[in-house]
Chains A and B, each alone.
Chain A
Amino acid sequence: MKRDARKWVVCLFVAGVFLVAGSAYGAAKQIVLSSWGGTYEKNVIKAMVEPFEKETGIKVVVTSYPNFAKIKAMVDTGNIEWDVVDIEDRMLRRGLKAGLFEPLDYSVIDKTDLLPGAVHPYAVGIEFWAGALAYSTEKYPGDNHPRNWADFWNVKKFPGARALFNGPYDMLEIALLADGVPMDKLYPLDVDRAFRSLDRIKKYVTVWWKKGAQPAQLLTDGEVDMTYAYSGRIANIIKDGAPAGLSFDQASVNIEWLVITKGTKKVKEAMKFLAFCTRPKPQAMFNAAMQYGPINRRAFDYIKPEVAALLPTAPQYEGMTWIPDAEWWADRAEELQQRWESWLLK
């Protein structure tokens, strides 16, 4: 009996500690940001989160992998775990239809120097990333390497194992580019022609990757010799000495967005965070580290010219890249995904 009583006291004490700790935790100003993990997340923390915390005293907890289903579940149930989420353009369009985001307050976020493409009533850009051609410099040393999608499709001139993204996005476009469609005539996509073009390369594609980190791994492991890849991931392994090269010729330039989850109680703090992230200095620091394109013009004031030359939005790549039409995709995503899956199984 005595022992039982003691047990109860211990239990109550422990519960009490958790309660007190819990409420203290809740009292401190804090927002949760869902980001993409890895180097990306590390640089978001260094360039944006830490300086923001220092300036405002608002704590930012960073958690990995934005997941659309999860955001939808949060909004549907009113149980908001992530206050700010880092999402792709495609996801933004779909999320807008589902009404998952808070409208932004541009009296808090200063948009004077932001590139027009990066300003949206419900989202603000964090960076421009490129879907580019990456290749192994071991397999293709010197200057004789594939540069654009026609080269990627040219298996005679450039033999080797290839990898592509497992999904129709960008793949239909690059198939058309490889087939000779000019960049400014891509949309509306000639879907049948794109699949016919893909038919020709299918045999030579050994890996159809799913996650952005895979192509970098595939090149490093020597599993493939060339691949469609997200530029920043490849730029990072090049920095670490991996035998890889990157070509921006005919690369897609996509915008990555920050949004505020609808229904969060931390709208004010979240808005302040968005305002901070879009300022020139954090933009310069983050994008120079990741080799992505900044969304604030004045960011280039803080980036060395030799680094700026590696960013997909740098002036010298003007006219070499194209921008995916997210609006065109928004209504066709399901249908084309289904067609993609049947095509892949054939």
Chain B
Amino acid sequence: MGTSREPTQYGWAFLLPSVILLGLVFFYPIVVFLSKTFLDPGPTLKNVIDLFRTDVYLKVLWITFRISFTVTVVCVLLGYPIAYLLCEVSEGTRNLLMIMVIIPFWTSLLVRTYAWMVLLGRRGVFNSILMSLGILHSPARLLHNSFAVNVGMIQMMTPFMVLAMYSVMKGIDRGLPRAAESLGANKFQAFIRVFLPLSLPGVGAGSLLVFIYSLGFFITPALLGGRKSIMISMVIEQQVSTLLRWGFASALALLLLAATLVFFLIYSRFFKIEQL
């Protein structure tokens, strides 16, 4: 206590290097690219108009949001018990479980996507097992559809969800549910009425992270998806690298950004962002 000081007047200067770096390598290129919506080729609104001239891009945006939403919900359902378990077990078990969460998290997304191709293929592991057990007579179509995209993305995103929820849950005072129990609540009631509400900021943070991250997914839907699981990033890539329509690609990116911000604003009304 004795050595604590008032914050100095120039404390913000410590932020300067990161702000400059972020401005230079993040904000500047984004502004330049997004400005192409209205400036490529020449000052124009054509790119924006093109977006709404057919319903195809809104449809793709809808698919993107739908997949991201499904992924987020399943990640919450899968991640919550895992995060809860991580808080409850002994230290040794926790380390072991933590490793099992973190190793996939560290493994390249591309590698995991290919792994799913090996597992879900027509001659893949699942089909072989099901067929040799006599449950299936001809291979099921597990790959190249929205199911595969969802499965793949859920596996990619679950660690994010678990880590976000765990960081909040481990900060919850364990005395509180115990106090509830001492006052007559059973274990279930103590969980539902004390622990769960306290852990909600973690659920909120995890969901936001997973949802927004999922919106930009590219490799997994491109490799595991079928014709009806096109995500907006795939269309952007197509416009940039094959069709050379950077202005339109930028308009698509702007659409995604705007939709994300709208979502974020609605979301922040339900979850107080400062709690996250």
What are the interface flags for B202-231 relative to A under an 8 Å C-beta threshold, 1 for contact and 0 otherwise?
A: 000000000000000000001000111010
Can you sample 7 A-B contacts with CB below 8 Å? A205-B227, A221-B123, A222-B121, A333-B243, A337-B242, A342-B54, A344-B230
Neighbour of A68 across the interface among B63, B144, B228, B242, CB < 8 A: B242
Contact A207 B244 (CB under 8 A): no
Q: Is A111 an interface residue (CB 8 A)?
A: no
Q: Is B59 an interface residue (CB 8 A)?
A: yes
Q: Is A67 an interface residue (CB 8 A)?
A: yes
Contact B244 A337 (CB under 8 A): no
Q: Is A64 an interface residue (CB 8 A)?
A: no
Q: Is A46 an interface residue (CB 8 A)?
A: no
- Bound-complex Cα distance A67 to B144 (A): 26
A residues 275-304 touching B (CB-CB < 8 Å)? none
B residues 14-64 touching A (CB-CB < 8 Å)? 54-56, 59-60, 63
Neighbour of B226 across the interface among A206, A222, A333, A337, CB < 8 A: A206
Contact B56 A67 (CB under 8 A): no
**Residue of B whose beta carbon sits closest to that of A70:** B241
Q: Is A94 an interface residue (CB 8 A)?
A: yes
List 14 additional A-B contacts (Cβ < 8 Å) besides A205-B227, A221-B122.
A67-B241, A68-B241, A68-B242, A94-B244, A166-B227, A206-B144, A208-B227, A210-B222, A333-B243, A334-B243, A342-B56, A342-B59, A344-B228, A345-B230
**Residue of B whose beta carbon sits closest to that of A214:** B223
**Residue of B whose beta carbon sits closest to that of A100:** B244
A residues 327-346 touching B (CB-CB < 8 Å)? 333-334, 337-338, 341-342, 344-345
Q: Inside 8 A of A334's CB, which chain B residues have their CB?
A: 243, 245
Q: Inside 8 A of B226's CB, which chain A residues have their CB?
A: 206-208
Contact B54 A161 (CB under 8 A): no
Chain B contact residues, CB within 8 Å of chain A: 54-56, 59-60, 63, 121-123, 141, 143-144, 222, 226-228, 230, 235, 238, 240-246
Q: Inside 8 A of B243's CB, which chain A residues have their CB?
A: 333-334, 337
Q: Inside 8 A of A338's CB, which chain B residues have their CB?
A: 54, 56
Min CB gap B167→A, angstroms: 37
Contact B244 A72 (CB under 8 A): yes
Contact A341 B244 (CB under 8 A): no
- Residue pairs across A and B with CB atoms within 8 Å: the count is 61
Neighbour of A69 across the interface among B143, B227, B244, CB < 8 A: B244
Q: Is A98 an interface residue (CB 8 A)?
A: yes
**Residue of A whose beta carbon sits closest to that of B143:** A223
Contact B241 A69 (CB under 8 A): yes
Sorting the interface of chain A by its residue count into under 10, 10 to 19, 20 to 34 or 35 or more gives 20 to 34
**Residue of A whose beta carbon sits closest to that of B229:** A345
Chain A contact residues, CB within 8 Å of chain B: 67-69, 72, 94, 98, 161, 166-167, 202, 205-208, 210, 221-223, 333-334, 337-338, 341-342, 344-345
Neighbour of B230 across the interface among A94, A167, A333, A341, CB < 8 A: A341
- Bound-complex Cα distance A161 to B121 (A): 12
Contact A69 B240 (CB under 8 A): yes
List the 8 closest A-B pairs by CB distance, nearest first. A342-B56, A222-B123, A344-B227, A69-B241, A69-B240, A207-B144, A208-B227, A223-B122
Neighbour of A345 across the interface among B59, B244, B246, CB < 8 A: B59
- Bound-complex Cα distance A345 to B230 (A): 8
Min CB gap B124→A, angstroms: 8
Min CB gap A71→B, angstroms: 10
Min CB gap A305→B, angstroms: 38
**Residue of A whose beta carbon sits closest to that of B139:** A222
**Residue of A whose beta carbon sits closest to that of B234:** A210
Q: Inside 8 A of A167's CB, which chain B residues have their CB?
A: 242
Contact A345 B245 (CB under 8 A): no
**Quick one: which of B55, B143, B228, B244 has the most chain A CB within 10 A?**
B244
Contact B122 A161 (CB under 8 A): yes
Min CB gap A210→B, angstroms: 7
- Bound-complex Cα distance A334 to B47 (A): 13
